[in-house]
Amino acid sequence: MSAQMDLAGSDSARGHLQAVMRGAKSAHIASFFKDDNDQFSTAVPFIIAGLENREKIIYITDRNTKDDVLDAVMRVRNVQDAVDKGHLIFMTSDQTYLKDGHFDPNRMLSLLRESEERAMGEGYTRLRASGEMDWYCSESPGVEKIMEYEARINQMFPGSGSNILCQYYEPDFEPGMLMDVIRVHPRVVVHGEMCHNPYYLPPDEFLACMRGSVPKGVYEKTAQEIVKRAHLTAIHRLEVRDSKISARKLSVLSDITFDALLSQVAVVDFYGELAKNSSADSVTKSYMEEISKKCHLMRKLLETAKIYQLAGEMGQQWYEIRELMDSVAAEAASEGLRVTHKVSGIRVMADVSLDRAIISVLENLPEGGGEIRLDCHHSEDGLVITIERPGDGVPELVKERIFELGYNYGGSDGYGLFLAREMLRASQLALRETGVPGKGTRFEILVPKGKYSPEAT
């Protein structure tokens, strides 16, 4: 099975899970996934965290080949040296789970213990093992003992310091089977999210249930969990109610504040214009013109901030990109910017702030010559909306800094790009600058799959 995927767009999520995996000790984890991206969003951080912790890593393949897994890891980090030195080793299910054509829980548990002892003897901090569990579907003799094996792994702890990740491809397993998998793993990763498992059963209790006898402790624990969840639900309802009341109060206060500030800025601008027209002194007039410019900037910032506030309150809607670009180009023209586009035939799901975010980018482009071009194209990560302008561009060292609050570069006001990125984030869109320094500026708005209609641009 090929692992054709792109992990580059998930740096934040992968980094968070990798930190969690790095801190894992004596952990028996189940990972549930629906596709290759889903699988490797967990498996890759698990492997890399083991390398960083100097743990001996064994990866047992089944649905993927060694090359598939290595390709996925190599997209994030070059681990060839670890493979060459035996820090990261690969085995197949036929060499381990199904050795000699059948599954034997005792043999597999012995392999884990022996591998752990060998890892410690070689100077590693502990063993870290991961297995793809699709071999269960082979119907080989003994595979029906898989849950006994999973439960007995937990008997190795706390004496063992190993970290073990069992990977389950959801479509291959019945729901009842997946529920048993949940019950024998203290931690589970569901679609990239590591969770402590409230449904976990200690091995002795689970094995007793398998034999048809439910210990009293299981009943008592279940009853306590029901009462606990009822209390938590009641508390959550009260918190939601209080949160809505507080949010409404803040919204009303914010509306009053925004309107009052806009009114005061308009008054200052009006009196400044009167002072400028009534003054014969050129120096005083120049000062008044600067005041007028600052008032104009303050008014735009307040209006943008107001739209940003509304973005989280009014929900999302479909935007016809062509109509949006026409509107943006018209507004930009009123500000003296020449904008062209060739976009049609596609829709994007976003908050009400999408057009304002694009305008904020246009107004804060580094100075350059020629027209500003808007376009979009498909990529492996989704849809990319581009904003390009020829000129000096943005140096590599400040490509991220230009989005910091208060940072001025190339004529930007220090606020617009920060607000643009935050407004787009509210719609789960991303903003970055990817232009070539010395040739021009290129901003990209990344629209993930599922947030735009599939028609071609």
pLDDT in tens, the chain (457 residues): 443 334 333 444 444 555 556 656 678 999 999 999 889 989 999 999 999 999 999 999 999 999 999 999 999 899 999 999 999 999 999 999 999 999 999 999 999 999 999 999 999 999 999 999 999 999 999 999 999 999 999 998 777 889 999 999 999 999 999 999 999 999 998 866 788 888 898 898 898 888 877 767 767 776 777 777 777 777 777 777 777 676 666 666 666 676 777 777 777 778 778 887 887 788 888 888 888 878 877 777 777 666 666 655 666 788 888 888 898 888 888 777 888 888 777 889 887 678 888 988 988 888 777 789 999 888 888 899 999 999 888 998 889 989 887 788 877 777 788 888 888 888 889 999 999 988 899 999 999 988 888 654 4
Q: Which of 106, 111, 86, 83 is nearest to 96 (CA)?
A: 111
Structure tokens at 369: 């010559």
CA 245 to chain centre: 30
| Tokens 């930009």 sit on residue | 332
Please answer whether residues 48 and 78 qualify as being in contact, where contact means their C-beta atoms are separated by less than 8 angstroms.
Answer: no
177 and 32 fall within a common domain: yes
Residue 224 lies in a domain: no
- Give the domain-ending residue among 258, 293, 310: 310
136 and 27 fall within a common domain: yes
Who's near 146: CB < 8 A, 6+ residues apart? Answer: 103, 133, 136
pTM of structure: 0.51
Write the CATH number for 107.
Answer: 3.40.50.300
Number of folded domains in the chain? Answer: 3
Who's near 400: CB < 8 A, 6+ residues apart? Answer: none
Phi-psi category of residue 105: left, alpha or beta, with phi > 0 → left and psi -120 to 50 → alpha? alpha
Q: What is the pLDDT of residue 454?
A: 63
Q: What is the pLDDT of residue 13?
A: 45
104 and 240 fall within a common domain: no
Beta-sheet pairing, 163-169 with 28-33: parallel
Q: What is the pLDDT of residue 442?
A: 93
Q: What is the pLDDT of residue 345?
A: 78
Write the CATH number for 433.
Answer: 3.30.565.10
Residue 453 lies in a domain: no
245 and 304 fall within a common domain: yes
Collapsed DSSP state (helix, strand, coil) of residue 281: coil
Q: Which of 303, 353, 352, 358 is nearest to 329 (CA)?
A: 358
Residue 113 lies in a domain: yes
Alpha helices in 312-439 (DSSP H): 321-334, 354-363, 416-425
51 and 161 fall within a common domain: yes
138 and 244 fall within a common domain: no
Residue 456 lies in a domain: no
Q: How far apart (Å, rounded) are the C-alpha atoms in residues 13 and 18? A: 8
Q: How far apart (Å, rounded) are the C-alpha atoms in residues 69 and 90? A: 9
| Tokens 């767009």 sit on residue | 9
Q: Is the bond preceding residue 158 a cis peptide, omega within 30 degrees?
A: yes
Please answer whether residues 364 and 335 qualify as being in contact, where contact means their C-beta atoms are separated by less than 8 angstroms.
Answer: no
68 and 88 fall within a common domain: yes
297 and 359 fall within a common domain: no
Four-point Cα dihedral 249, 252, 255, 256, nearest 10: -100
Four-point Cα dihedral 315, 321, 325, 326, nearest 10: -100
Structure tokens at 219: 């009943």
